[in-house]
Amino acid sequence: MARAIWSGSVSFGLVTIPVKLYNAVSRRTVHFNQLDERTGSRIKQKRVSAQDGEEVPSEHLVKGYELSSGNYVIVSEDELAALDPKAQRTIEIEEFVDLADIDPIYYDSAYYLAPDQATVKPYALLAEAMERSQKVGIARFVMRTKQYLAAIRPVDGKLVLSTMVYPDEVNAPADIPELADVEGVEVSDRELDMAEQLVDSLAAEFEPDKFHDTYREQVLALIERKAAGEDEVVATPAAPSAEKVVDLMAALEASVKEAKQARSRHPSGQDDAEEGPTVKPAKRKAAKKKAPAKAAAKRKSA
């Protein structure tokens, strides 16, 4: 049974809807403990002073912010508590925006908003109105002394809240030198047409159930075998080749051919594979133009 991690209300205009917040995602990973290989005992970490190596009691631990000079500014818990955002139990929607206007890079963690029994109808009404208008509510709320920016969107009649990162938390592409090399690259019509054929040949409806964390499954299988008494030694895989593609067109043509053959072997793709992709007539200029930021965001959100 899922447990609510926060309770409050969604507010827009003069309308208030009591809600509870539930995790929409449960991260699944394999956790290991560090052991002493000589005794098999678990390793424990201690807080020790960098000056003398002695363990520091918890009552003597304080928060310090390191300055560029290497010195620390000590900040007390009381000083931080005085700055805590006011814990209003309200998710206040400040505005409604188009879903396509939000670049997915701003999304962080997802949560379900669930209504109280007495407010199911206004909850359903809000979800339906947002669904019809294809709008997303931008809101602020406080959870665990932290203020969040959030987007509330309708999904199959339910409201999903996604916390968002702030603009100054998004790394600028200009800070990544390798991305600067992409600017001004020219591609020919033939190369672009062949690349589009490759994209078309791999096009499919997104079905989440088709994808699995194969690494996690293999690690768990390995653990089960070793727990059953097998003494397995896993060989280190060969490092992938760093060889660069020399003939781009040859690589594209081979990729299209391979994708076509793979689709023809799949029962649902035989009809499409028989027809095969058709080379489109050249209509573009040789230089590929950058799409406007808003249009790019719409394509990402589509």
pLDDT in tens, 194-234: 888 888 888 888 888 888 888 888 888 888 888 888 887 66
Q: 52: pLDDT confidence band, cut at 50, 70 and 90? A: very high
What pLDDT is attached to residue 267?
56
Last residue within a domain, chosen from 146, 169, 192: 169
Instruction: Give CA–CA dist 90/227, Å, rounded.
Output: 49
Residue 296 lies in a domain: yes
- 15 and 163 fall within a common domain: yes
Q: How confident is the model at residue 243 (pLDDT cuts 50, 70, 90)?
A: low
CA–CA separation, 131 and 136 (whole Å): 9
Whether 113 is in a domain gets the answer: yes
Residue that terminates a domain, selected from 152, 169, 186: 169
Do the domain assignments include residue 240? no
Asked if the model's pLDDT at residue 300 lies above 80, the reply is: no
**Domain count across the chain:** 2
- Give the model's confidence band at 78: pLDDT under 50 very low, under 70 low, under 90 confident, else very high: confident
CATH number at 88 reads 2.40.290.10
Query: Is residue 165 in a domain?
Result: yes
* 111 shares its domain with 201: no
pLDDT value at 192 more than 60 = yes
**Cα–Cα distance measured from residue 234 to residue 225, given in angstroms and rounded to the nearest whole number:** 12
Asked if 140 and 274 sit in the same domain, the reply is no
Q: Which domain holds residue 187?
A: 174-216+250-301
Backbone dihedral region for residue 276 (phi beyond 0: left; psi -120 to 50: alpha; all else: beta): left
98 and 203 housed in the same domain:
no
Q: Is the pLDDT of residue 236 over 80?
A: no
Q: Are residues 103 and 184 in the same domain?
A: no
Is there a single domain that holds both residue 104 and residue 200? Answer: no
pLDDT at 126 over 80: yes
Angle in degrees, CA 94, 99, 104, rounded to 5:
100
